[in-house]
Amino acid sequence: MRGGGAGEKLHHKEANVAHGAAVYGGAGKGAKSSFLYGLLLYVVLPVLVLYFVVIAASQFYNPRCSPEGNVAAAARFMVAKPNVSLARSLNASSSSPPPPPPPVAKPRLTAEEAPTGLRHIVFGIGASASLWQSRKEYIKLWWRPGRMRGFVWMDRPVHEFYSKSSRTGLPAIMVSSDTSKFPYTHGAGSRSALRISRIVSETFRLGLPGVRWFVMGDDDTVFLPENLVHVLSQYDHRQPYYIGSPSESHIQNLIFSYGMAFGGGGFAISRALAEELAKMQDGCLHRYPALYGSDDRIHACMSELGVPLTRHPGFHQCDLWGDVLGLLGAHPVAPLVTLHHLDFLEPVFPATPSRAASLRRLFDGPVRLDSAAVAQQSVCYDRAHQWTVSVSWGFAVMVVRGVLSPREMETPMRSFLNWYKRADYTAYSFNTRPVARQPCQKPHVYYMRGSRMDRRRNVTVTEYERHRVKHPACRWRIADPGEQLDSIVVLKKPDPDLWKRSPRRNCCRVVSSPKKGKDRSMTIDVGVCREGEFAKV
């Protein structure tokens, strides 16, 4: 029994040892697994999360994020010592103003919406072969090859008919179609009135693209193109318009009509009206065989169409004789558009060798420098000498003894004669005044002799020289301008927007006046009236 108990004890002991080994061996394996799980949970997983967050915040993978946002995101996830340079860059980026918004692109205007320019006007010039050699010099003054469109309509071919217009510096030559089928019964007129009256219709039928206005004139009509463009741009070419001016002669207007645009002064017909005229004009001409000229035939057709004359004072028929000083020296407050009948008027500048050369001085200088201001009047006073000064910019300056009111100075003086020479001052269609109410107040005239642009000061400089003619004796104590003043300089800034504002005369200021025995010149500044400024008597 003792032997059996010992063996049993030994077996039990071995079993316990084996069980303990198994228990301790299992505990060791569990500890290792727990360590790996902890390492994965607390070390690897946060690193992966941080990695994906940084990648997601980068600009390459998320273009919507701004650079400032990326820097801020990186700063939130940094656990190391703060970076001073990074903090400074953050402060600088936060304090800098936001970038300006990109400029908004202006919508491009269509061809129909574009403002009216020279390219939208086509000219029709009525001419005759017999007068062409002298009259074409007037056309060369204002015609601009390559920039303008138009035709000279002849009764028969001339030399330029066979040449390219680019070589001649003139519009293309066209020969009017036959008008023998139309009746003409006026005893004192010419059948050429029939073909000239059809120029607008014939030009319309050519089908030129982009034409908004058809402008009619004679071969001795001189246009100021920029001023014409401004006038026509005020009207809608898609509506029927008939724009021009009657005669300066009251008698002429009574014979023809105050509602008629005189053709020599030029007139404009909108495209809408030209289209209607072309449809009915041939029939209209058959109904008025007894009329005298071309412009009254056009007027008769306008009356049938029911379109009245839109009057503009810048178109000048110039039914006058003699010196145009009175008309241009007190021009209406409106752009000068045309001049006509130049062969019946004295040269614009008396000292020039010919009428065309006289106008060339005007076009090469003032018209080129500031077309809008040509012949625009300003009135001011030299109080030291008690002189009245009237500036017709680019043309002439008149200096008068004593003080004459602006109301009197803006009235044209009768330096010319009526188209009907025996008619008196009541035969004009506008107000006039005598050249001088008394001998001492006959104006001293200074005509423009030169002009230039001072680009440093951005002003035009026009110089005027005294026209030396004999003046009547005068006993006034007021100084005689002819004895003290030889030349005048006028300074003026170009003002292309002059007629985009309400009509108003410019103001002038006498900057310096002659001193006895020393300086014999005067300097005048002309420009937009300042606040509270006016021509105070």
Question: Contact at 8 Å (CB) between 451 and 394?
Answer: yes
β-bridge partners, 454: 459
pLDDT at 409: 97
pLDDT over 60 at 459, yes or no: yes
Task: Select the highest-mean-pLDDT range: 79-93, 311-325, 510-524.
Answer: 311-325
pLDDT at 42: 65
pLDDT bracket for residue 84 (50, 70, 90): very low
Output the pTM of the full model: 0.80
pLDDT over 80 at 88, yes or no: no
pLDDT at 518: 77
pLDDT over 50 at 214, yes or no: yes
What's the rounded mean pLDDT across residues 414-436?
95
Give the start-to-end residue ranges of the domains of the chain.
47-76, 118-317, 377-527
Pairing label, strands 121-126, 487-492: unpaired
Q: Minimum mean pLDDT among 96-105, 199-208, 324-333, 343-352: which range?
A: 96-105
Question: Contact at 8 Å (CB) between 513 and 384?
Answer: yes
What's the rounded mean pLDDT across residues 202-222?
98
| Mean pLDDT of all residues belonging to the chain | 87
Q: 3 vs 493, which has greater pLDDT?
A: 493
**What is the DSSP secondary-structure string of 443-508?**
PEEEEEEEEEEETTTTEEEEEEEE----------SSPPHHHH--EEEEEE---TTGGGSPP-PPEE
pLDDT over 90 at 72, yes or no: no
pLDDT bracket for residue 56 (50, 70, 90): low
- The structure tokens listed for 127 are 């001419």
pLDDT bracket for residue 104 (50, 70, 90): low
Pick the CATH number of 118-317 from 3.30.750.24, 3.40.1370.10, 3.40.190.10, 3.90.550.50: 3.90.550.50
What's the rounded mean pLDDT across residues 271-276?
98
What's the rounded mean pLDDT across residues 311-326?
97
pLDDT over 70 at 10, yes or no: no
First to last CA, the chain: 161
pLDDT at 117: 96
- The full length of the chain comes to 537
pLDDT over 70 at 253, yes or no: yes
Q: How far apart are CA 226 and CA 338, in angstroms?
A: 11
- The structure tokens listed for 394 are 């680019």
pLDDT bracket for residue 66 (50, 70, 90): very low
What's the rounded mean pLDDT across residues 501-526?
93
pLDDT at 277: 98
pLDDT bracket for residue 68 (50, 70, 90): very low
pLDDT over 50 at 13, yes or no: no
pLDDT at 89: 45
What's the rounded mean pLDDT across residues 79-96?
45
pLDDT bracket for residue 105 (50, 70, 90): low
DSSP SS3 for 75: helix
pLDDT bracket for residue 515 (50, 70, 90): confident
Q: Minimum mean pLDDT among 161-165, 323-327, 382-386: which range?
A: 161-165
